[in-house]
Structure formats: structure tokens, C-alpha cells
Structure 1
Amino acid sequence: MTAFDTPVRLTAVAAPDQPDVTPALEELYRGFEEELLVPLWTEIGDLMPAHPSSKASTHLWRWENLRTLADRAGHLVPVGRGGERRAIALANPSLGGRPFATPTLWAAIQYLMPGESAPEHRHSQHAFRFVVEGSGVWTCVGGDGPSGGGTDAVPMNRGDFLPQAGWNFHAHHNATSEPMAWIDGLDIPFQWTSEAQFFEFGRDALTPEECVTPVRSRSEQLWGHPGLRPLSATHATPGSPLLNYKWSHTNAALCDQLALERAGFGGTVEPGHAAVRYANPRTGGDVLPTIRAELHRVARGAATAPVRETGSSVFQVFDGSGVVSVGDTSWTVARGDLFVVPSWEPVSFRSEAGATDSDEGALDLFRFSDAPIFEALHLHRTQKDT
């Protein structure tokens, strides 16, 4: 390799704490270029900054616009093999046009027309679905029933959170006469960057017996009882064995936290701010190895303190309205809107929810993040700004 075709380019710069610019230094740098070497003293500001400086930008996607475009795609784009899923990913404006919401997280709106089925497949990427509106679609997951075999039909309704660990076959079906949209979250960018991803097609179609919409899935029958762990369940899984966290349970927990606060017994993370984390009932830890999911409720008129964390997050407004501030940017948000919080950018909320735009008179925010990755590597840090 000659100096002409090497990708390494070094420039001697007269600056404090840098070596004197001399012909000998220039000759040294040309030698580094030819051997594909980069000295730390020319890069330390980028490689070891005082605090995280994310490649991602903060950005907001309006649900009204996303849903309109998804509906148009529903009438134009098939959902079968080839496209595989009618999923439309959020592309962070600072990540080169890749379909990545953040450097580690994928977020997409998925749209299924009446009577349609998304074909079965599996992948190493860990995933979830969160339903901001609609009902009647179910996801059919293979190998996650109480016996560890067969398929488990899991209903999807507004407010439900459905985690799915990697390498489980799954398909979706819309059994209703109306289209349905939800958001998908996956760790695709993380696995893509680390070159660890696998994918495999499953069956092209489900059997008629599988095309049912049960009130409760088998995973819920076994695992959906608060505080109770079935002794029959001895087979460990990489993610939560509970495949549907119903909104009725999430809502009740948030309501009770705020009720305890009003009665003077605490229970909230700060005044007017209730929050829950979706947990694996087997371990008490996160529902997925690489993704953390939470639901935050900010009572009308309440505001949260700015918080910074290493790693990135994606939020969706589940209900209500208010003002979101990320770094130096603020938006007024409403139901369905999605936004990104890059690493170490402060985020805060002010609720302006009322009876006309909220079921509970509060700003409800669904959040997912890459925190489990950072905690596993002992790189997680959080700071509340005053």
C-alpha cells in the first residue's frame, strides 16, 4: 500500500501539547500513513471526550404524518415475502440515511391491512411491539408456550407491550375489518455494528387453527399473575417469558403511584411523575437483554427535572399532551408522536394533558432504551440536572 491509497491522513498542526512541526515529523506521519497507524495524540479529543457526544441528533416524528404515509403504503406495498414486513423505520437525520433511530436502536411503524398476515420468520435481533391505537391484531410466536413447543397466539390491543427475545419464529395477523398500526423496537443497529445478526425464513402461511384471537395467550396464563412464579417453569429464556404486558395492569400501577403520592405516602419518582419498568417475571430484570422499556406518567401541570443518561432512548407519546425538552430543543407533543434522546442529552417533560386529549388527565410516555447494554459493560451513568 502506498501513501496515495491509504485511508489514513495525518496533518501536523502547530498547537499546544502537539509536537513541533518539522520535516522529520512530516516524514514520521507519512510513515504512519503507509503502515495504517494513527497516533493517539492527534485523535484524543475525539476518542476520549470529556463527556459523550452522540452522532445522533434529537428529532421528532409526528404520528399523524407517519400514520398517513403508512396507510398509503398499505394500499401500495405487499406484506409478503420480499418486503417481509410493512415496517417503516425512523431514520435519524445525523446517521447518514440509515434506518436507525439511534446508533443502537431501531424504531418503526408497522402497518397491517384487514385480513393480512405478515409471514413467519425469526432473527437474532431482540424486538418488541407497542400498541398506541387499535386492536384485533395478534402475533403468533413459536416455541414460547408453557410446554416450550407449538405456537402461542398473543393478542395486541391499545397500550399493550409485547417483548420478544431473538431467534423466536413469529408472524402477525389482522383478524379485523380495519387497518392497525403499532411501533416496533429492535436492537438492529447494535447487532449490525457488532456484526452479530442472523435471519431465517419460517412458514409462508399459518394453519387455520392458528388463525384465532384468544383473550389470553398461553404465556399470560402461565406468567401473567403478579408476584407469582410457576414452579413448573424451569427452562430459562434469554428474554421475558411473558409475551404481553396488558395496558390495564400498567395503567393501574401508574394510577396507584399517583394516589399514594396524593395521600402523602410517596410512590413516585418525583412530584407528579409516576413510572414503571417492564420486568422479566422470572428474573426481575429487563424484559430483553439489550432493551429496557418503561412507561412514564406526568400528571397535568407537573414538570420533570432534566435527566441525562449514557446510551440513547426513543419515546412515544401514548396519551395526553405537553412540552418535551431535549437539550436545547423543545416541542409540543400529542398522542403517538415519537422522539429521540441521544446519549447524555438532558430530557424533561411538562404535562398539559386534559380531559379532551387524555384518558387519565396526564401525559403518558412509553420509552425504550439501550440501558441493559451499558449496564452490562459497566458504562451506564445518569445525572439529574438542577
Structure 2
Amino acid sequence: MSDRDRNTVASPVSLTAEDGPGQPPVTPALQDLYRGFEKALLVPLWTEIGDLMPEHPRSRALPHRWEWRTLLDLAARSGELVPVGRGGERRAIALANPSLGGRPYATPTLWAAIQYLMPGEDAPEHRHTQNAFRFVVEGEGVWTVVERDPVPMRRGDFLPQAGLHWHAHHNAADQPMAWIDGLDIPFQYDVEAQFFDFGRDALSAEERTTPERSRAERLWGHPGLVPVSRLGRPAPGAGSPLLRYRWEDTDAALTDQLDLERAGHPGTVEPGHALVRYTDPATAADVLPTIRAQFHRIRPGAETAPRRETGSSVYQVFDGSGRVTVGDASWSVRRGDLFVVPSWAPLSVRSEASPSDSDSGALDLFQFSDAPVLTRLNLFRTHVEENA
């Protein structure tokens, strides 16, 4: 296109002169100035400051809840109809926030999806710059293979995977299995930094084994103990070298916090609310460069104080039941349900769990967020309101 052609293309800039506080008087000269701005593809800040620089975050995302039963039913139907191989490159079904134009985004920065693998199936190998994890709310029998290291996946396990690691999955069981995937796809898409590579079509016999512990867990899965041989020699891509955080360890840590509270000692973040964060055993930093993962346990009858954070979060109910309030939205939730907390929306949770619907007797919530990105940019803020 020539310079002359470019100059004849209709401008996408449209400006309206309006009377108002801080605005210049509307005159023919001002309107003529605005037409000049439009033609030159310029936008004066005084017409946009309320939108571009508001007093507090105004998220494009809405609070929303997805019921696990619905997700699981649709994933099972997909398992019968949709191949898992190179055509679709994973049978993953993403949550689409209702205010993000039909994009497969749970929030403007976070992707969340249910992935479903049929008995005996393999999900072929690939890698991508997107940081990812898997979290298992029910079932077992699938091994994820990261850099040719088979890693078991069982209920309650959290499996982080930093970008650019080769990975595949195989189902060694006679039953289907579902789990949730979390990735920073929307963030990397918007900053235009993503890469993707196809890997091998098939796994080797050694990778199709089903060890109780991966090689990564044997090296890094010992609390407080770091293998000196691996210090200063990180795997490709930043992120935790521990590929599986076992439910047994998470459960014990949460139980101990509430037991300490009952005995009158500090340990919980607020009354009845135990919280742990998954961290890199080599650095104590977040497990992934762009994703923070945490686990909450709220004893029956307890209610968390309304909390606001910059950045967005996705929660999954691991066990129990309760009432969740996000801004003006409020829902009853139970095992498997997922919900979104947009930036700066106040979140409070009331536990209604009991031994009839929770193995721990409490409301257990898995959470992931974009907090590491905002923290590095000095943009992460939090505010906790006083409970009435």
C-alpha cells in the first residue's frame, strides 16, 4: 500500500467534543482540531483518561461459576467424538468468561480447561512457551511425561510445568480421567511472545511405565532438602524442578495449620482459614514465572473476610461445599466447581462443609492467579476488609 493509499483509508479514531469537567469548551475550532487528530491517528489523553487511568481496576472479566458436573458430562461426550491426537492437539475444553467476547479465556490473563483422556490413550508430545500446570480433582491412572520423565497424576496432586518442556500424557487405566489445565495463554497471546513445537507422535516403552515417583520427585520431593548436584543447573525454562506436589503433603500442611489454631498457636491467615502456597524448592519463589498456585482450607462455619487483589484468579472446589461471593455475584459451590475472581473484585467464602461431603470435613479450594507477573512489575496490591 502506498503512502497516498494509506492517507485515504478511513481513520479508526473517532473523537467527540463534549462539555464536561476538565474538558475544553466546545467550539467549531475544537471540532476542527479533533478532525485533524482523527486524520493523523492521534488521541488526546483528556478525552480518554477516565477509561485509561481509572481510580481502581475495572476488569473486563465478570465473576462466573462453572459446575463440575456439567463440565465432566460434556468432556465425557467429547471423549467419544473427538480424537486426542494431532488434529486437535489435546482434548481440552476451555472456560470462556461471559464478558470476553467468546474467547477461550477464564480471565484476561488466565486459561483454564478440563482435559479428558480415554482408557489406553496417549496425548502426543509437544512443547510451548506457555507456562502450565495440571490439577487433579478426582481419579487416577494417567501419567504425564515431562522431558521423558513419567509423573503420576492422582487426586489432589498439583503438577506444574514451566514453558518449553516437552510433555505428553498416557492413560494406563481402564477408566477415563479428567483434570484441569491452567496456562498463561491469554497473557502470552496479548504480549505476542508465544511459540509452539510439535514433538514425537509416540512414547517409548520406558516412558510408558508407571512409576510411583518420578525422577524429579526423587530428587526434589524432600521437604527442606535440596540436591546440591542440581543447584545452579536449572532445567530449560524458569520454574519449579519438582513436577508433582503430592496431595498427602498438601493435606498434612493444611491440617496442621488448623490444629495449631485450635491449640491457640499462630498458623492460619485468619480464623478458620488455612492457606499454603506451592513454591519452587530451590528458590522458594512461585512455582511458575507467571502463575501462582495456592490451596485454601476453611473450617465449617468460618467465613473469610472480603479480600481484593489486583490481577485475576481461578478457583476450583476440591472438597466440601460453601457459599462464595465475588462482587455482586454469589453462588453455592461443591466439589469440582470452578469460579473466577476478576481483578479487584472482593471475594469472601463461607464454609458449609461437613464429613458427608468432604474428606477433610472442611471446604478445600485450589486457586491459581497471575500474581507473579504483577509482583515483578510492582503492580500487585491487596486489601482485606473488616468482617461485619
User: TM-score normalised by the shorter chain: which range applies?
Assistant: over 0.9
In the alignment, structure 1 residue 227 sits paired with structure 2 residue 224: yes
Question: What pairs up with 1:1-386 in 2 under 5 angstroms?
Answer: 1=6, 5-142=10-147, 151-234=148-231, 235-237=233-235, 238-386=238-386
> Which residue number corresponds to residue 3 of structure 2?
none
Please give the alpha-carbon distance, in whole angstroms, between the structure 1 residues aligned to 2:8 and 2:200. 53
Please give the alpha-carbon distance, in whole angstroms, between the structure 2 residues aligned to 1:277 and 1:50. 30
Aligned length: 378
Deviates more, 1:151-160 or 1:227-236: 227-236
Please give the alpha-carbon distance, in whole angstroms, between the structure 1 residues aligned to 2:178 and 2:199. 23
**Partner secondary structure for residue 249 of structure 2:** helix
Tell me the CA shift for residue 213 of structure 1. 0.9
Tell me the CA shift for residue 192 of structure 1. 0.1
1:201-253, Cα deviation, whole Å (9 max, x unpaired): 00000012211110000000000000011111131240000000000000000
1:320-346, Cα deviation, whole Å (9 max, x unpaired): 000000001110000000000000000
> Which residue number corresponds to residue 145 of structure 1?
none
Please tell me the residue identity of whatever aligns with 1:311: G
Please give the alpha-carbon distance, in whole angstroms, between the structure 2 residues aligned to 1:367 and 1:385. 20
Please give the alpha-carbon distance, in whole angstroms, between the structure 1 residues aligned to 2:206 and 2:67. 38
Shift in CA distance, 3/302, structure 1 to aligned 2, threshold 3 Å: farther
Q: Are the equivalent residues in 2 in contact too, given 1:3–1:33 (CA < 8 A)?
A: no
**Partner secondary structure for residue 137 of structure 1:** strand
Please give the alpha-carbon distance, in whole angstroms, between the structure 1 residues aligned to 2:53 and 2:8. 27
Please tell me the residue identity of whatever aligns with 1:116: E
Q: Are the equivalent residues in 2 in contact too, given 1:291–1:371 (CA < 8 A)?
A: yes
Tell me the CA shift for residue 82 of structure 1. 1.5
Gaps of 5+ in 1: 143-150
Please give the alpha-carbon distance, in whole angstroms, between the structure 2 residues aligned to 1:315 and 1:347. 11
Please give the alpha-carbon distance, in whole angstroms, between the structure 1 residues aligned to 2:329 and 2:146. 40
Please tell me the residue identity of whatever aligns with 1:72: R
> Which residue number corresponds to residue 146 of structure 1?
none
Please give the alpha-carbon distance, in whole angstroms, between the structure 1 residues aligned to 2:152 and 2:15. 58
**Partner secondary structure for residue 31 of structure 1:** helix
Q: Are the equivalent residues in 2 in contact too, given 1:3–1:30 (CA < 8 A)?
A: no
Tell me the CA shift for residue 15 of structure 1. 1.4
Deviates more, 1:153-162 or 1:236-245: 236-245
Tell me the CA shift for residue 2 of structure 1. 5.1
Please tell me the residue identity of whatever aligns with 1:192: Y
> Which residue number corresponds to residue 147 of structure 1?
none
Tell me the CA shift for residue 4 of structure 1. 6.6
TM-score (norm. length: structure 2): 0.97
Please give the alpha-carbon distance, in whole angstroms, between the structure 2 residues aligned to 1:74 and 1:374. 37
1:18-65, Cα deviation, whole Å (9 max, x unpaired): 111111001100000001000000000001000000000110000000
Root-mean-square deviation over aligned CA pairs: 0.8
**Partner secondary structure for residue 73 of structure 2:** helix
TM-score (norm. length: structure 1): 0.97
**Identity between Structure 1 and Structure 2 (%):** 71
Gaps of 5+ in 2: 1-5
Please tell me the residue identity of whatever aligns with 1:236: P
Tell me the CA shift for residue 3 of structure 1. 7.6
Tell me the CA shift for residue 311 of structure 1. 0.2
Deviates more, 1:16-25 or 1:188-197: 16-25
Divergent runs of 4+, >3 A: 1-4
Tell me the CA shift for residue 356 of structure 1. 1.0
> Which residue number corresponds to residue 148 of structure 1?
none
Please give the alpha-carbon distance, in whole angstroms, between the structure 2 residues aligned to 1:376 and 1:236. 20
Q: Are the equivalent residues in 2 in contact too, given 1:90–1:106 (CA < 8 A)?
A: yes
Please give the alpha-carbon distance, in whole angstroms, between the structure 2 residues aligned to 1:32 and 1:331. 47
**Partner secondary structure for residue 208 of structure 1:** coil
